[in-house]
Amino acid sequence: MPLPKAELHLHIEGTLEPELAFALAERNGVELPYADTDEIREAYRFEDLQSFLNLYYELMAVLRTERDFEDLSNAYLARAAAQGVRHAEIFFDPQAHIARGVGMGTVVEGLWRALGSSEENHGVSTQLIMCFLRDESAESAMETLRAAEPYLDRIVGVGLDSAEAGHPPVKFREVYEAAAALGLRRVAHAGEEGPPEYIRQALDLLGVERVDHGLSCMEDPALVDRLVRDRIPLTLCPLSNVRLRAVDTLADHPLPAMLDAGLLCTVNSDDPAYFGGYVGDNFDAVRDTLGLTEDRLRELARNSFLASFLEHDEERRRRYLAEVEAYAFP
């Protein structure tokens, strides 16, 4: 039995496996510029975040109907459950779909067809976090927030993703203020490729409660002190960092140093179809390569539930945490 955990940094579009991409392409009459699944996997050699995003946005063309988003989500939830995920807070990128003529309603209703019955079908509780594309304008983000208003009973919070360099959090200050006024929780990618200053901006200007990645904080000891003191969770994605070359090799990943510094780290998969593994695979990789002890692995699992947006159901959080403490490693 795998270690029980929450996944807090997962782009649902990044769970699109090549086999499903071809099945959906056929169902929807979409032409993919790849001969077969091997050819897609050969394209998984990324130089940096942007080179990944190019493929990520290209393959999304196959997602067109509610049923497509439902099938995508069910495939992820089944894999996540098999790797010990009890709770998942799932990012989606509505602008990438709206730009292709697929409306907010299709995306959210489609995702919900799987998420709404995920506890019964997969034993995984879920929440949705809507991300703004930071390489699009602040006006576009605000329009997206307005388009989501009819669906806010299904969306727990907002996030910020896509190309980080040159798109500092400050650009989205008003959008995050508006999201907060709507009662939404706030997270943002910061410090994946961007400097520590972007992490500070996400905290100070966007009011984020959790930082996605946050890797570059290690260049700024005063920022580390603050993140430790304020117990700001970081959603790290080790295999993603290797594939997108944020670190040279997994052995160079700062996760052990970050835990030693007292940071509230979690381990997540980011875009598992593209980066060589789901969240359990990330746990296995950091155990094997970074030599994390069972105590450290349990701490990561505990942190994932402590950092979850489960304030509406503290009884559930206690149950999940009790499972972590009771877990016997094989």
The contact set with ligand HPA (CB under 6 A) reads 11, 14, 49, 56, 161-162, 189, 192, 240, 270-271
Estimate to the nearest angstrom the gap between the alpha carbon of 329 and the chain centroid: 26
Name the residue nearer to Zn ion (CB basis): 136 or 270: 270
Residue 49 interacts with which of ligand HPA, Zn ion, none, CB < 5 to 8 Å by class: ligand HPA
* Shortest Å distance, C-beta 294 to ligand HPA: 28
* Shortest Å distance, C-beta 189 to Zn ion: 6
User: Annotated catalytic, 192?
Assistant: yes
- The two most distant CA atoms of the chain are separated, in Å, by 53
Residue 270 in the binding site for Zn ion (CB under 5 A): yes
* Shortest Å distance, C-beta 188 to Zn ion: 10
Under 8 Å between Cβ of 212 and 9: yes
Name the residue nearer to ligand HPA (CB basis): 161 or 299: 161
Residue 193 in the binding site for Zn ion (CB under 5 A): no
Under 8 Å between Cβ of 269 and 10: yes
d(CA 138, CA 157): 17
Residue 305 interacts with which of Zn ion, ligand HPA, none, CB < 5 to 8 Å by class: none
Under 8 Å between Cβ of 165 and 193: yes
* Shortest Å distance, C-beta 119 to ligand HPA: 26
Listed in sequence order, the residues at least 6 apart from 5 whose beta carbon sits closer than 8 Å to its beta carbon are 84, 85, 86, 267, 279, 280, 283, 300, 301, 304, 305, 324
Under 8 Å between Cβ of 287 and 297: yes
Residue 192 interacts with which of ligand HPA, Zn ion, none, CB < 5 to 8 Å by class: ligand HPA
Name the residue nearer to ligand HPA (CB basis): 4 or 18: 18
Under 8 Å between Cβ of 43 and 87: no
One-letter amino acid identity for 292? Answer: L
Residue 89 in the binding site for Zn ion (CB under 5 A): no
Q: Residues in the site for Zn ion, rule: CB under 5 A?
A: 270
Residues labelled catalytic: 192
